[in-house]
Copies of this chain bind each other. A is one copy, B any other.
């Protein structure tokens, strides 16, 4: 009998609901083939310091698909191809330590690395693939801006949480006759704002793809008043920008990640509306709430299917590929292809049209 394969798996970048489901499906699918799976802690870090590698068994992963976070951690300290390393004098220096990753990978006799991650992590995975490492990717992005797959896990949960928040804000905005601006994730693409805004019956949706004009937003709020609606819910993607706007309004954002954005777009819009209309406004940043906690049923299933598909991809020697959803099928696409495009909201797509037909303004 040929020896079973030895699979390494890591999770990189921001936390996303469904990561544990991928890990569960990878482990169980490998187990039923007589293969072994090893969990690499904290992205690629665990292949630099190999002392925390853990063997994943059915006992360890059973039923974790319904839990949030990742049992493998994601406190990545950097890109192995450009790692900030402290020199003797305490200064930071950027070093390529990727060879160390490859050496450890070979020394531990791994046959394949399953890299679960977003844009950044998958680019690193692709670089390792180009250097000869057998890699299979599993796409992960809350924001839904990754190319090559119609959708990925984590997004449905984020949209659901945002929608539930919008639902709650309606009643309080209505009771107090206020304009509430809620800021959701999405620096480059407005999917979460768009989908949750429609589902949550928002009055205005602001997305990076459509620069907004404060006066147009105010006009819309006024037209609502004429229809007897004395409050408004504005959903803003954190990456939404005013017409002709620069990055100025996002100066509070920390190093490009979807974190607590003080002085972000929601606060900016709230202040401007208050100034121009004299309306009582409030802003709210959902932040981390969108990426934590138990995945929705949709995301659990998709992540489990992705995990199982990753093992089949290895069986088929589809290295350099990532698994992808092309409904109703889970297939694979070349990492190169997937990474070459970014999925922004198409302005002529039926979702934007639906929003406009429902009477929702994009501030344009």
Contact = CB atoms under 8 A, between A and B. Distances in A.
A326 B328 CA distance: 9
A287 B165 CA distance: 11
Binding site secondary structure of chain A = helix
A70 B298 contact: no
A357 B32 contact: yes
B172 A288 contact: yes
Interface stretch (A61-69, A98-106, A108-116): A61-69
B172 A68 contact: yes
Contacts of A75: 175-177, 280
A311 B177 contact: no
Interface in A275-303: 280, 282-285, 287-289, 291-294, 296-298, 300-301
Contact of A283 (B59, B156, B260, B291): B260
Given A25-B354, A168-B68, A175-B15, A195 B284 contact: no
A354 B305 contact: yes
Interface residues of A, number: 93
A207 to B, nearest CB: 15
Given A167-B66, A172-B68, A177-B73, A287 B297 contact: no
Given A25-B358, A174-B69, A301-B199, A180 B288 contact: yes
Interface stretch (A215-223, A238-246, A345-353): A345-353
A79 interface: no
A161 B291 CA distance: 16
A50 interface: no
B327 A350 contact: no
A227 interface: yes
28 contacts: A15-B175, A15-B176, A29-B358, A31-B359, A58-B227, A62-B201, A65-B201, A66-B201, A69-B171, A150-B327, A156-B298, A160-B297, A168-B293, A169-B292, A170-B292, A171-B293, A172-B292, A172-B293, A195-B297, A196-B297, A199-B304, A259-B282, A260-B282, A284-B288, A284-B289, A285-B285, A301-B351, A305-B350
Interface of A: 14-15, 19, 24-25, 28-29, 31-32, 58-59, 62-63, 65-70, 73-75, 150-151, 156, 159-161, 163-165, 167-177, 180, 195-196, 198-201, 227-228, 259-260, 262-263, 267, 280, 282-285, 287-289, 291-294, 296-298, 300-301, 304-305, 308-309, 311-312, 326-330, 349-351, 353-354, 356-359
